[in-house]
Each structure stands twice: as C-alpha cells, then as structure tokens.
Structure 1
C-alpha cells in the first residue's frame, strides 16, 4: 500500500513538472504574460461533510409507541395503496387501504417498531 502511494506521488510530480514546462514554453512563445496557477489535490475528490443524526453517530431516540405515520409507511411498504389510519387506540393502530383491488385492513401493535398483529 505504501509503494502504491509513493508511485502515485512520483507520477503526480512528474505530470506537474511536465505541465509546468509546457506552460512556460507556451507563455514564452506567445510573448505575452499569462496568469498561471497550479492546484494539487489529494484524496478522493469529495469535500468532508459533517452529518449529525442517527446514521452518523448522533443521538436518536426511538419512541416506545407506534406512531401513526410509521404505521402508514409500513402499510405502504407492504403494498397497500391509499392507506389511511382508521383507528388509533391505546393498544393498536389500524390502517385500511386497497391491495390488488380488494379492501384490506392491517392492525399494528402500539409498540416500538409497529409489529403486525392482524391482517384481513
């Protein structure tokens, strides 16, 4: 790995030196002064981004209940179209909609993660 990095640095230096010689020859041949700049960048080309949130080491606390919006999203991912919350009781969240032309109803437990407890 260290050899690979040294080869890359040597190759970059050779390209820069060759490019500088070409620029100097072009500028002297034209007889006019031209602005020249050299820019060296190391890395993969992406600027560092600082994210905060559950996927990037930030704090995220999941609720201990089934949020109706989470139940809707889960029902839609199950293939239920036009999903809407029918009932939001202390122990369960009921979502109704259509699947393959038939009316369906899914009941989720009011716990973290919205586990499915009924489907008809």
Structure 2
C-alpha cells in the first residue's frame, strides 16, 4: 500500500514541477505580440506567405517601340514587323522613308537606324 501511495506522490510531484517550468514568468509574458498586415499576402516587407512573383520577361512592347521611334524624330511611326528577336518600325524623317529596328528586349534597344 505504501508503494502505491509513494508512486502517486512521486507522479504528482513530477507533474507539478513540469507545470511550474512550463508557465512563463512575468518578464516572458510581456513579450507576447501579434501583427496585422495589410495588402496581398506574399508581397512587401515581412514574411512571405505566397509564391514569389515571376521575374519580368524582357519584351519590347509595340507602344514603347513606336514612342521611342517618335522621340527619335520618326514621323508617323508604325510597326511593320515583329518577331521574337526584333521589332521593326517604319515612318518618315526629313521627307524620306526610314526604318528603325529594335531588339525585342526590355527598354527596346536600337539595333539599326536607316
């Protein structure tokens, strides 16, 4: 009978010691915090929950090519051809037909100007 009482007392003491170490002290209880995030999860500073955004594919948009040709002095610029490697814009300059060839990359770098 003494053995069963001793086992029960030891088990109770073990549970009490374990529960006492698991409870936070006053200093640790003050560190509890939470955060509110605005916006789409996965973007902006902080933890990223969603998939990362894909890298921007560098292409020369037709409107960008026409605007760039117009800033270069080509009057009435129009896209005449476009494929995966280049964009060709035709127009007029100083009363003569002209052609500007842009690479189909970001920022539309000029390849040829005739």
TM-score, length basis structure 2? 0.50
Aligned mates of 1:62, 1:78 — CA distance in 2: 26
Contact conserved, 1:81 with 1:99, CA < 8 A, in 2? yes
1:79 maps onto 2:46 in alignment: no
**Structure 1 unpaired stretches of 5+:** 1-60
Shift of 1:64: 1.1
What is the CA deviation profile of residues 40-97 of structure 1, one whole-angstrom value per residue up to 9, with x for unaligned ones? xxxxxxxxxxxxxxxxxxxxx9651000110000000001001000001110000000
Instruction: Indicate the structure with greater helix content.
Output: 1
Would you say how many aligned residue pairs link Structure 1 and Structure 2? 60
In the alignment, what sits opposite 1:96? 90
TM-score, length basis structure 1? 0.48
Displaced runs of 4+ in structure 1, greater than 6 A? none
Aligned mates of 2:68, 2:86 — CA distance in 1: 14
Aligned mates of 1:100, 1:107 — CA distance in 2: 18
Quick check: which has more Rg, 1 or 2?
2
Partner SS for 1:74: helix
Partner SS for 2:58: coil
RMSD of aligned alpha carbons: 1.4
